[in-house]
Every structure is written in C-alpha cells, then in structure tokens.
Structure 1
C-alpha cells in the first residue's frame, strides 16, 4: 500500500511528520512526497523536505495525507496546484486524509461534507459548506480529518486501525511510545491565551482584496 504526503510552501511540519511516523511504521506501506516541483519545500518553521514526485507525475495513490498551514487563508487563495491535484487523485484513493487546516483544502476541492480542523479555522470550513466537528478525528466516508497539528498522530493511528486492525495500531502506538497527556483541553485554556493565539494566527493571514 502506498501513502503519499502532500508538500507545499509554509505547510506545518508536524502535520505530516506525525502521520508519516505512524503510517510509515506499517511494514507493508511505502511512502511518497508530492509537490508542485521536485525542489525542496520549506515548512512554515523552516524545515525543508525534498519531494519524490510532482503533481504532474503522480496520478494515483492509496492514501493521501494533506497537512495544514499557519498561512491557510493565503493557501486557499492560491494553493499552488494542491486543490486541483486533490480533485484529480481523490477518485483513485482508498483514503484521503487531512491534518489541521489541511481540511480547508479538501473543502475547497469539494471532497468532504463533515470534517474537523484547527479551532482557529473552523469558520473557514463552515463557509465552504462543511459540517464542522470539534472532535479530534472525523471519518466522512473515505475522507478522514484530524484537528490541530498534533491530532495528526491520532488521525493516523485511527486510520491504521481502520485499514490494518486494532493490533497493528496498538503496535505502532507502542513503538512510537505515544501516550498523550495534554495539560488541558482547548475549552479550558484562559481566554487571554486564546486571544493572543488568535492575534498571532491572524497576523499571518493574507486578507482578500
């Protein structure tokens, strides 16, 4: 089985690295990285990743993983070919997945009816006609979405369980020693912290003309 991770400028590194470690731990899975060109792609925090394939060369795959970005509204204005490629490849996939604001790209491509995303981007899903969930992982047919950033690990484990069974998922979880113990849920974080984060996220967005 082949899993393909979508790369584009200003993607969030953990959005694809987390699922990559989970899905890539399954021995029967081979991995690819697809982008507009074969040039290295830099994440929003500066990590560079070299693609193995381009949107023009890769026309089918079993699993697609679409990471999000802290610059998601800019990306929605010009995805650099990501949205078009997703529309093209989706009919060939067994699973089409997203992490964080990557679900807004699936929504822009018209591929999802119910999804989750980072809490700061829920409105961007809603205005695209998607039923927005605050669950950490959402299955919508063969489309699977994970909430913000670290939820990509949870999404990938749920995907491995759905595809390969509970024992395989448990083995992968034990292998990466994933035992999440977050200090608090989003809803219990002080409002002033959330307001500061929202301001930081907004400062990265490109406003419509």
Structure 2
C-alpha cells in the first residue's frame, strides 16, 4: 500500500492530547513486529511506516496550545501537501468558535471532503459542523459539548453512546483521549485488527 499522508490542523488553544494522541498512534504504527522493535530502538522513524503525519496551521506560524505549550507546525494550509487523511482536533469553546468563524480555514477543510478519511476529535466536530459536511450524518463529540453541537447544527445526528463514530468517510470521536481510540480505529480499517492491537500494546493502551 502507498504511504498515507495525514494532516492535523492546529490552532491557538488547541488541546494537546487531541492532536498528539492520534499523531503518536499513526506515527508509531508499522507493518510488522520486527519493524515495531526497530521503531522502539532507533531515534528516527522508519521510512517504511504506513503513515506520514504533518501538522498544519493557517499561516504556518507557531501556535500556543490550551495548556500554554508552543508548537511549530510543518506547513501552512496554503503549502500543505496533498492529504489522504485530515484530522481536526478540538479545544475550549472559544477557540473552536473562532476557527469555525474563519472562512479561509472552513473553505480549506471543504476542499478535503472527498479524501479517504476526514476526522474530528472532541470539539473539533464543532469546526467540522460549520463546513456543512456533517449535515445528515452521525457524529459524536466531547460529552460536555453534545448539547451545544445539537443546538448549533440541528441537521447533525449527534450520538452520545460511542467513542468513535464513522459515517461514510467521516470519523468523529469523543473527548480528548478518544482521539487515540479514533486513530486505532483508523489503523484497524486500513491495516487490520492485528496491526491496531499491536500498536495499542506498544503504547500500553487498553482497547
């Protein structure tokens, strides 16, 4: 299979685990036990890994996360490589509302509506909701944001009983650490259950 390019949108006050969890899962996923052992031994990731993960911001500038840690992205949205998977993480309400009002970012997300997988973590579903791509679809989000998402976007079928929800090429996940479940779900869909289980075991995550 070809190496899949994964873009993770970052913005000021994003929650770290929302993007770092999926980034770590997809970056550490490999195709065999032997490669897994090498990955844990070597300083650099293997060139044969199935996912290549990039961070992307609107202008390619450093952002500050919700916890105050600064992150320098790989690309701006204008210079982003062609993606196979796009992940939209969440953050505090004011932060996601600001991004939802940013028409350039919303338009950019919409250009990816037909990629293999378009994903949200936590309140990132609020941002995706603004694109209109979730209308008529089943999605989930952080448990504290379920009501807000239903009221803001009444055409979305918001579910509260699952950590990960797939509807077509759109995959949404619940709050914060649920992004890890979502990334492992992606690995299972693309590479199979045994690979997903091996990756989960590597980071000592219980599915």
Query: Quick check: TM above 0.5?
Result: yes
1:82 positional shift: 2.6
Where structure 2 has 5 or more consecutive residues not aligned to the other structure, the ranges are: 30-48
Where structure 1 has 5 or more consecutive residues not aligned to the other structure, the ranges are: 181-209
1:90 positional shift: 2.4
1:59 positional shift: 6.0
Deviates more, 1:50-59 or 1:16-25: 50-59
Question: What TM-score do the two structures reach when normalised by structure 1?
Answer: 0.80
1:77 positional shift: 5.2
Contact 2:139 2:158 in 1 (8 A): yes
> Match of 2:195?
168
Tell me the distance in 2 between the aligned counterparts of 1:111 and 1:142: 10
> Match of 1:183?
none
Contact 1:8 1:80 in 2 (8 A): no
User: Of residues 141, 153, 156 in structure 2, which corresponds to 1:130?
Assistant: 156
Question: What are the Cα deviations for residues 177-208 of structure 1, in whole angstroms up to 9, with x where unaligned?
Answer: 1127xxxxxxxxxxxxxxxxxxxxxxxxxxxx
Q: Per the alignment, in what secondary structure is the counterpart of residue 82 of structure 2? A: coil
1:79 positional shift: 3.5
Question: What TM-score do the two structures reach when normalised by structure 2?
Answer: 0.81
User: Of residues 137, 140, 144 in structure 1, which corresponds to 2:167?
Assistant: 140
Contact 1:76 1:108 in 2 (8 A): no
CA RMSD of aligned residues (A): 1.6
Contact 1:3 1:32 in 2 (8 A): yes
Relative to structure 1, the CA distance from residue 29 to residue 59 in structure 2 (aligned partners, 3 Å threshold; closer, same or farther) is: closer
Contact 1:59 1:89 in 2 (8 A): no
Tell me the distance in 1 between the aligned counterparts of 2:166 and 2:22: 16
Question: What are the Cα deviations for residues 122-164 of structure 1, in whole angstroms up to 9, with x where unaligned?
Answer: 1232231210001111001111011000111111111110111
Contact 2:100 2:130 in 1 (8 A): no
1:74 positional shift: 3.0
> Match of 1:150?
177
> Match of 1:18?
21
Q: Per the alignment, in what secondary structure is the counterpart of residue 60 of structure 1? A: coil
> Match of 1:75?
98
Contact 1:36 1:80 in 2 (8 A): no
Relative to structure 1, the CA distance from residue 3 to residue 77 in structure 2 (aligned partners, 3 Å threshold; closer, same or farther) is: closer
